[in-house]
Structure 1
C-alpha cells in the first residue's frame, strides 16, 4: 500500500480501456430461437453492429487479469454484418429499434436500417444486404424505425419519417408498409402509408394476436412523450390498412410509455395517470405501486414489458434502480429474476416462456441476460462482462439522498476515490467532480462505468446527481423541472457538492462539474451562476436557449423548452436570463468545451457564440471540436482524447500529478 496524493494514483484503467468498453447492447430480439441484439463497436468508428448468439453451450473462462481469456456464457456470438454496415436509425435523431428478424425456410431473414443512408435493407444468411426503400433528395430524406415483419402480407410495417423541405422541422411521420420484395427500393409510391400525418409523432404499431387491431402511441408539439401521449387503436381492414383510430387512453397530462397486447387480445399499456408509470390491462391497474414500469420515450421501440405465453408478463420495474421480474396479472404479484444484476435497460424480448433483457450492476457492465420463467434460471447469453482489469480497481458506490432547497430530496450516487494499492495522506479530503446527466428527463443508472473508474482509481471522487426533473422517481419529481431548467438542476447539483464538502467527504476548494447535452447546459449554467466549482467540463451542450428554440435543433426537441423554460413569446426575458451564452463574461473558472461537428441536436454554432462572448475575459479554457462526431461521442479515439483532456484540466486546476497524461493546453 502506497501513500500518494489524490489524483496521482497509478491505475491500470487507462483512457483506451475505458473507451473500448463504452456503450451497451440494445434492442434484443429473437430470430427463431436465437437471441440477437445491437452492440456498439467504439474501435470500429463507433458503428453499431447486429450480433447473434448461436445455440451452443460454452463454459466460463478465467478472467484475463488472471491469465485467461475472459468469461463467456451461453453460446457462440458472431457479428452478422461486417464494417462498414452501421445498424442505427436517425428517426427523431435519437433513433430507436433499427431491426427485425424471423426464420423463413430455415434461414434468418432480417431487415435493418443502415446509418449512412437511412434506407431499410433486407438481409438473408449467405447473401448481401439489399435496399428495400428509396432515397429522397428532399431535406434529410426518408428515415425508418421500429420495423416489424408482416410475412403473411410480404411487408415490413414501421414508422416513416419523411422530410418535406430543408428545415429541421419540415417533416412528417406516419405508419407505413414497405414491400419486402424490394419493389419500393427506387419507387416512393410503392410504400403504402397506413395512417395520415395528423399527429406529429407516432410509435410503431403493435398488432393484436388475431391480426384484426393495431395499437400505437401519438403525441404533438409542444408536448414531449413523458408529458402526455395518446394511445390509439384502429381496426385493420381486409386490405391490411388500419381504419380510423380512436383514442382509448392518455392525454395532455397522461403519459403512455408503451402499448402491447396480451395473448388473449387484451390491451396492455403503461400509464403515469397515478403519478407513476404503472401497468394497465384494458384500463385496470395490474400492480399499482409507487414505482415505475415505464420511462421516458427518448427512442422509439423501448420496451419495459413483454407479454409471455400463458398470460404472465415480463417487466422492467423499480424506483430509481430497475429489476427484471415476472408479473402475474391475476394476483398482481411480481417475482424478480435472481442474479447479480441491479439495473435493467428498457429492452425486452420473449419467446414462449423465455425472456431476454439487458442487465448490469456496479460490478459488471451491461450484458444480455436470459430468464427461463419455468425454471427461474437466469444466465448471461451475450455481450458477457469481462473483467479487463482486476475488479479491485472498480469504484465502490454509495446510494445517497440529500436535502436540497425547500427541503426537496435529491437522489445521487457517490463514487469515492478507490484504489487497492494506494491511500492518500491524512488531513485533506479528495477532489470531487459532479456529473450532471443529459436529458434532462433521464437518469444516471448505478452500473459499472469504466469512465467513472478512470477517475476514481486515480483518486478523484465522482458524484452522479439525479436532480429534480430526473425520471425513475415518479411524475411529481419529473415535474419539479417544469419552467425551472437552469434553476432546479443547478441548485440540486450545488447542494450535493456543498453537502459533500460540509461533511468532509470532498474538498471544498477542489470541486468540479461536468455533463453532456442537457448536462452540458447544467454545467455551463452552474459556472455562470454559482461560485461552487473550481472548473468544469462541458460536452456537446445547449448554451443559447433563444437560438436552440428557434431553429437550431431538431424537430423532436424543438418545443421542449416550452415545458422546461416556458413559452418564448410569453417569457422571452427568461430565455436570456438563463442562457450561459448571455452571461459568458461571468465565468471565472477554467473549463473544457467539447463538441462534435456533425451534431444537429446541439450544433457547434452554440459553442462558437459562447466562446465569442468570452473573448477578452482571459479565463483559462480549451475548445476541442471533433470531425465525424455527432451528439454523443462514439469513436474510441475521440473518447480517449476526451478523458485524457478532462483529467489534465483537473490536474492543472487542482494541483494533481497523474502519471502519463498528455497536458491539455489552456488558452486565455
Structure 2
C-alpha cells in the first residue's frame, strides 16, 4: 500500500531538502577540455571555502582532482573570469597551466609536482590577471589574455594578448612577458591559432558597448618569430555581436554573429544553417564556447531557442542532429578530440554533468560529475514552460515551479505562496534545470516562478534589446505581469507573492518593491541599488558603462539615473525585505546596500541585512549559502504566516 498523503498548509510540508544539502550541491562543472585522450574540467568545492579544483578523468574512467586545497583554479579577468586552465599531453605526462584565484598568477605544473609561478605579482592596483591560456611548448610560451591594472581605480586597466615564457623567467620580471597586441581595444578574448600556426583570430570590443552589443573579429598574420602582424577586422561592428570564433581543421574561419537578429554560424563569411535560434550567447566569461569544429568537417554546437541542445551540424547541408539523452540544457563549454565531443548538460531531473558525445554514432553518455540523487526524486519540482502576455501584448517567457511533495497536499481552500525569481545579468537567462535551491522551496509548499524577462538571452536580439534604456521598467513590468497572471488564474495567492533576485536580479527585486504594490516581501541579494554611484566608479571596468545602454547616456539623461534607482525611492518601500551582501564584492559593492539602508532609517520597515566576510559577487562558501537560504525561508514564513519546521527565525529589525 502507498503512503498516506497528509493535508498540511503550504509552507508546512516537511522536506528532506535542507539548506546544507542545497549548499553541498551548489555550482557545477565548467571549462571542459581534452588533454590527449583524457577529459578534464573544473569543479566546485563549496565545503572547501568555495574553491574550484581541476579534475582529470583517466582513460579507465577514474576521476582525480589534480590540485589540493588551497589551490583555486579561477580567473578574475573582467571579474566574471574566463577559461582558467589548459594542458598539453607529453611523453613525461601533461603540462598544465592554470590561474590561481588567490594571487591571479599563472602557474605551470606536472601531475605529482608542485605548481610553479610563471607570472609576477604586480604592486599596482588589482595586479596582473590572466585568462584563456594557450600553451605552445614548441615556442616555449603560453599565449593568453593579460589584464593589467595601471592604477588603484577599478577602471585603471588595460588588456592585451600576451605571451608568457614557460620556463618561469617572467615569475619575477614583468618585462619578460611579451605583448602580442597593443592596447587599442579595451577588451580582447584569447587568440585562436589556425592549424598551420600562421594566423591568429580573436575578438575585441570597446566601451560603452558590451560584447552582446557589438564586437569585432580580428585577424592577424603570425610571423616566424611569433609576433602578430597586420591585424584587421574581418567581421562585426558596433551593432553586431560576434560571440565566438575558431578555425576548422582545414584552416577556414568560423564565427557566430547575430547580424540577422540571431547568433548564427558563418564559415569564411558565409551563413551556415541560418535559423531563428541561437548558436551563440552573451559573453560574460572569456573562453565561452558554443561551437567547436571537428576533424571530419562537422561542427559540434550548443544551440536553441530558449533551452539549449547539444548537436552536430553538417555545414554542407545545414542539417543539425541533436544528441539523444535526458539533457535539456547545455552550458557554453565544449571541447573536441577527433570525433569525440565533451560538454556540460543538465535537465529538470538531473544537475549538470560532463557529457561525451560520439559524433559518428550520435551516442552520448555521462563521463564525469555524474548526477546522484541526494534525495528521492519524488521531491523534485515539476516545472512548466510558460509564455505570458505582458504590457503592449509582448511575450514573456517563464518557468513555473508549482509546490510539489509526494506525501503532502494543501487544503482545498488554500492557494500557495509564490516567489518570483529575477535572474542576473540582466543579459542572462534562467535555464530549466534541476536546482535544489528551487526544490528547497517547492518541496515545502512555496511555488517559484523564474521569469526570463525582456532583455534575456536565448530569444533573439530584438527580445534582448527590449531592455535598452528600459532597465528598471521592462524587467519590473514583466516580473509583475507573470506574478499577477498566476494570481488571476488561481495558481498563486495574490496576497502571498514575493520577489527575489541577485546582482541585476537584486536590482529588479528592489525596483519591484519600490515601484509596485504586487509583492508582500522580497529578498535582495548583492544588488545594484544606486545607479549614479554604480555608474561613476563604484563597479568594475567591464560593466562600468553598461548603464549607457540599459538606462541611457549619463551625460544626456542624468535625472533618469535617480528616477530609476531604488535607493532614491527607499521612502516608497513599505514591505519586509531581506538584504544579502558579500563584503568582498567589487561588482556590486557593500556601499550600495549601506546607502540604501541609510535612506530607510527611521521608517520602521521590517528588514534584515546579512553581510558576509570573505564572499564576493555570488556566494560560494557552504556556510554562507546555508545562512542565506534559511534566512530567506524565515522571511517568507513570517510574512506569509507559514510554519516550516527546523528553520532558525530571522530577526527582522523594526
Task: Establish whether TM, by shorter chain, passes 0.5.
Answer: yes
Equivalent-residue separation in structure 2 for 1:151 and 1:274 (angstroms): 40
Alignment of 1:254-293 (within 5 A): 254-293=240-279
CA deviations over 1:162-199 (Å, ceiling 9, x no partner): 00000000000000000001011100000000000000
Residue 6 of structure 1, aligned match among 6, 10, 13: 10
Looking at structure 2, the residues matched to 529 and 549 of structure 1 have their Cα atoms a distance apart, in angstroms, of 21
**1:31-42 matches, cutoff 5 A:** 31-42=35-46
Shift of 1:348: 0.1
Superposition map of 1:361-400 within 5 A:
361-400=347-386
In 1, distance between residues paired with 2:230 and 2:174?
A: 24
Q: Does 1:223 align with 2:227?
A: no
Aligned with 1:551: secondary structure?
Answer: helix
Within 2, Cα distance between the matches of 1:219 and 1:376? 37
User: 1:499 maps to what in 2?
Assistant: 485
Equivalent position to 2:52, from 42, 48, 51: 48
What aligned pairs does 1:90-105 form with structure 2 within 5 A after superposition?
90-105=76-91
1:649 aligns with 2:653: no
Q: Distance in 2 between matches of 1:183 and 1:164?
A: 22
Out of 488, 492, 495, the position equivalent to 1:509 is 495
State how far apart, in whole Å, the 1-side matches of 2:125 and 2:644 are. 48
The alignment status of 1:403 with 2:389, answered yes or no, reads: yes
CA distance in 1, matches of 2:329, 2:190: 26
2:311 matches 1:307: no
CA distance in 1, matches of 2:337, 2:92: 17
2:576 maps to: 590
Q: Match of 2:94, SS?
A: strand
Please report how far the alpha carbon of residue 532 of structure 1 lies from its aligned counterpart in structure 2 after TM superposition.
0.1
Match of 2:409 among 404, 411, 423: 423
Q: Hey, what does 1:65 align to over in structure 2? A: none
Match of 1:81 among 67, 73, 77: 67
After TM superposition, the score normalised by the length of structure 2 is: 0.99
Cα distance, 1:428 vs. partner? 1.6
| 1:549 match: secondary structure | helix
Q: Does 1:557 align with 2:561?
A: no
Task: Indicate the residue corresponding to 2:607 in structure 1.
Answer: 621
Which residue in 2 is equivalent to 1:632?
618
- What residue is the counterpart of 1:69 in the other structure? none
**Match for 2:340 among 354, 376, 396?**
354
Secondary structure in 1 matching 2:131: strand
Given the alignment of the two structures, is residue 29 of structure 1 paired with residue 33 of structure 2, yes or no?
Answer: yes
The DSSP-based 3-state class of the residue aligned with 1:122 is strand
2: CA distance, partners of 1:666 / 1:249: 54
Measured after TM superposition, the shift of residue 54 of structure 1 is: 1.2
Q: Tell me the CA shift for residue 94 of structure 1.
A: 0.5
Deviation (angstroms), 1:151? 1.4
- Offset of 1:460 from its aligned partner? 0.1
Report whether the alignment pairs 1:519 with 2:505.
yes
Task: Encode CA deviations 1:635-663: one digit per residue, 9 max, x unaligned.
Answer: 00000011100000000000000000000
**Offset from partner CA, 1:241-295 (integer Å, 9 cap, x none):** 1112111000000000000011111110000000000000011111000000000
Take 2:88 and 2:517, find their aligned partners in 1: how far apart are those partners?
57
Counterpart-to-counterpart distance in 2, 1:14 and 1:169: 41
C-alpha deviations, 1:313-367, integer Å up to 9, x for none?
0000000000000000000000000100000000000000000000000000000
> 1:259 and 1:182 mapped to 2: Cα distance?
30
Q: Which residue of 1 aligns with 2:592?
A: 606
Unaligned runs of 5+ in 2: none
Q: Which runs of 5+ in 1 are unaligned?
A: 57-74
Structure 1 counterpart of 2:141: 155
Q: Distance in 2 between matches of 1:388 and 1:604?
A: 35
Question: Which residue of 462, 465, 475 maps to 2:461?
Answer: 475
Asked whether 1:445 is paired with 2:445, we answer no
Matches within 5 A, 1:106-255: 106-255=92-241
Provide the C-alpha distance between the structure 2 equivalents of 1:103 and 1:281, rounded to a whole number of angstroms: 30
Aligned pair partner of 2:303 in 297, 309, 317: 317
Distance, in Å, in 1 between the alignment partners of 2:13 and 2:205 is: 51
Please state whether the residue corresponding to 2:462 is helix, strand or coil.
helix
Structure 1 residue 297 corresponds to structure 2 residue 297: no
Instruction: Write the distance in 2 (CA, Å) between the matches of 1:427 and 1:398.
Output: 23
Q: C-alpha distance in 2, partners of 1:235/1:144?
A: 23
Match of 2:609, SS state, is strand
Return the TM-score normalized by structure 1: 0.97
**Structure 1 residue 375: deviation in Å?**
2.1
What is the deviation of 1:373? 1.2
Which sits farther off after the overlay, 233-242 or 217-226? 233-242
Q: Work out the number of aligned pairs and report it.
A: 650
Give the Cα separation in 2 of the matches to 1:192 and 1:540: 38
Separation in 2, partners of 1:106, 1:288: 45
Question: Out of 450, 455, 459, which is 2:441 matched to?
Answer: 455
Cα shift at 1:106: 3.8
SS at match of 1:656: coil
The SS at the match of 2:480 is helix
SS state at 1:19 partner: helix
User: How far apart, CA to CA, are the structure 2 residues paired with 1:422 and 1:642?
Assistant: 26
Separation (CA, whole Å) in 1 of partners of 2:50 and 2:223: 43
1:94-142 per-residue CA deviation (whole Å, 9 max, x = no partner) reads 0010000011124011000000000000010121000000110000000
Where 2:334 maps in the other structure, the secondary structure is: strand
Where 2:276 maps in the other structure, the secondary structure is coil
* CA RMSD after TM alignment: 0.5
1:364-385 per-residue CA deviation (whole Å, 9 max, x = no partner) reads 0000000011222211000000
